[in-house]
Chain A
Amino acid sequence: DTAVSQTPKYLVTQMGNDKSIKCEQNLGHDTMYWYKQDSKKFLKIMFSYNNKELIINETVPNRFSPKSPDKAHLNLHINSLELGDSAVYFCASSLGRGFLDTQYFGPGTRLTVL
């Protein structure tokens, strides 16, 4: 199936740990994104990469570090996890640089920090 996929789907961890979430798209898109959805369902952009180049870096703590090994993958690494990091993290992709393109979302990763 052509899609945006994320692993893992659920992640439960202790405060202070380091964890990674992986994202892959096989749509041939050039731009990938990470969004965070909080407990009130509010969605907010975190990062955006175009052809492995960082183009958006919102006011996200530097404990969050995106890595794009190639344009089909955008991983999110989180250091020293805090309770407030608990949320659902969505990866998305779009064909061009995003201006005039539909964004397609992955299934989300629910992160719970205990």
Chain B
Amino acid sequence: GIQVEQSPPDLILQEGANSTLRCNFSDSVNNLQWFHQNPWGQLINLFYIPSGTKQNGRLSATTVATERYSLLYISSSQTTDSGVYFCAVMDTGRRALTFGSGTRLQVQP
């Protein structure tokens, strides 16, 4: 099956700093989503982005499908950004998301 690798596994930032999270995948995808799992465990959909670039406030994401990677940018980080960020993909042969192992982000005041 498709492999999804996220980096870095852990990230500690000071409030106000910027960061880039990366997701590499091993095969063509027709669906890619970024999620934030907050400290209370809720999985919140950030972006549906199988290709191209999207922005939502301080967050933006870019997927280069031909090179099989996606990037999530967090600017001016806040303590509420803390949690685990997951990349999830769906390849053309399946109908369910395959998740990466996540990037654990801690934003310190």
Contacts and interface: CB of A to CB of B under 8 A. Distances in A.
A41 B84 contact: yes
Given A102-B48, A103-B45, A56 B95 contact: yes
Contacts of A110: 41
Contact of B45 (A31, A104, A107): A104
A98 B84 contact: no
B90 A98 contact: yes
Given A41-B101, A45-B96, A99 B30 contact: yes
Contact of B90 (A90, A99, A104): A99
Interface in B64-104: 84, 86, 88, 90, 94-99, 101-102
B95 A98 contact: yes
A75 B107 CA distance: 37
A29 B50 CA distance: 20
A33 B43 CA distance: 14
Interface residues of B, number: 24
Contacts of B30: 99-100
Interface in A6-50: 31, 33, 40-45, 48
Interface residues of A, number: 26
Contacts of B86: 43
Contacts of A97: 95
Nearest to A104: B45
B106 interface: no
A55 to B, nearest CB: 6
B109 to A, nearest CB: 24
Interface in A64-107: 88, 90, 97-105, 107
Contact of A56 (B37, B44, B48, B96): B96
A45 B48 CA distance: 18
Report which residue of B50, B97, B101 has the largest number of chain A beta carbons within 10 angstroms of its beta carbon: B97
Interface of A: 31, 33, 40-45, 48, 55-56, 58, 88, 90, 97-105, 107-108, 110
